[in-house]
Amino acid sequence: MHLGERWSPEQTSRARPAAFPGQPERHLSTETIYQAIYLPHRGGLERAPGQLRTRRKHRRKRRRPDQRLTRCRVTGLTINERPAEAAGRTASGHWEGDLIVGKDNRSAIGTLVDRSTRYVKLVHLPHGRGAEHARDALVRAFADLPVSLARSLTWDQGSEMGRHDESTRATNIPVFFCDPGSPWQRPTNENTNGLLRQYFPKGTDLSIHSAADLVAVAAEPNDRPRKTLDRQPTRRHRSAGADLFHRS
């Protein structure tokens, strides 16, 4: 139930009591679902690891901070200079962004997620991921949003942001950079990128995806129930003016 729709085990677990009221034997914990997927020899659900978004056959250990690679350093405003409302997620319009990169680093897709509403926008980069391409794509991505929903952007210090000052002049959206090798400083985007890899697997050519494809993919996570939004899908979360996203 729902795993085939790319829901996570936790989302699936939370949905079962409402789907099967009065049938506690059909209510499953998140860990039970994971165990059934990864350890089918113990019985339970007849599911394969391929049903998970990540399609991993084994649980992955997290890398320690000192094992992460530092990317190209770009100068600009630091994350410590970001407005308090952005850090506290008290207002919509403060975004985190990054690239997911394809085979041999030859293709990429930009990912944007609002820190407050968790709304996802995917950025089409058909001509490459150089600084000029990222600049133009970001200007296009924010062009359809009102000022109240385009307040700031937080990004890693990647070379694709080498012309961030030009995008800021065009959009009036300041860019704040994480500390080197500190992707956890944009946790919402990191989590989102992990979810998106089910659609854009590592080692594949991302240039085959059209702008329309990216819109269709972004619609799925925006329609899922989110724990942080009281189990409501991002599209239905209306606090802080989030309903305006529906018009874009």
First-to-final CA distance of the chain: 31
Three-class SS state of 233: strand
Considering the domain boundaries, does residue 59 fall inside one? Answer: no
Please check whether residues 39 and 87 belong to one and the same domain: no
Query: Among residues of the chain, what percentage have pLDDT more than 70?
Result: 73
Residue 246 pLDDT > 80:
no
Q: Let me know if 67 is exposed, middle or buried by CB neighbors in 10 A (0-12, 13-18, 19+).
A: exposed
H or E stretch covering 212: helix 211-222
Place of tokens 């240039």: 207
- Indicate the number of domains in the chain: 2
Residue 61, domain member (yes or no):
no
φ and ψ of 56, to 5 deg: -75, 145
More confident site: 183 or 187: 187
Q: What is the pLDDT of residues 97-124, one digit of tens each?
A: 999 999 999 999 999 999 999 999 999 9
Q: What's the alpha-carbon Rg for the chain, to the nearest Å? A: 19
- Cα(33)–Cα(13) distance, integer angstroms: 8
Q: Give me the mean pLDDT over the 218-232 stretch.
A: 73
Tell me the residue range of the domain where 161 lies. 68-247
Nearest CA to 124 out of 106, 102, 145, 140 is that of 140
Q: What percent of the chain lies above the pLDDT cut of 90?
A: 52
Which pLDDT band holds residue 20 (cuts at 50, 70, 90)?
confident
The amino acid present at 39, given as its one-letter code, is: L
Residues 80 and 120 in one domain: yes
- Residue 150 sits in the same domain as residue 222: yes
Angstrom distances, CA of residue 232 to CA of 71, 145, 155: 35, 22, 27
Residues 140 and 228 in one domain: yes
Q: Quick one: 85 exposed, middle or buried, by C-beta within 10 A (0-12, 13-18, 19+)?
A: middle
Are residues 109 and 230 both part of a single domain?
yes
Answer yes or no: are the C-beta atoms of 81 and 140 closer than 8 Å: no
For residue 58, being part of any structural domain is answered with no
Other residues' Cβ atoms within 10 Å of the Cβ of residue 229: 17
The answer on 155 and 119 residing in a single domain is: yes
Query: Closest Cα partner for 108 from 95, 97, 94?
Result: 97
Q: What CATH number has the domain bearing residue 181? A: 3.30.420.10
**CA 178: distance to chain centroid?**
17
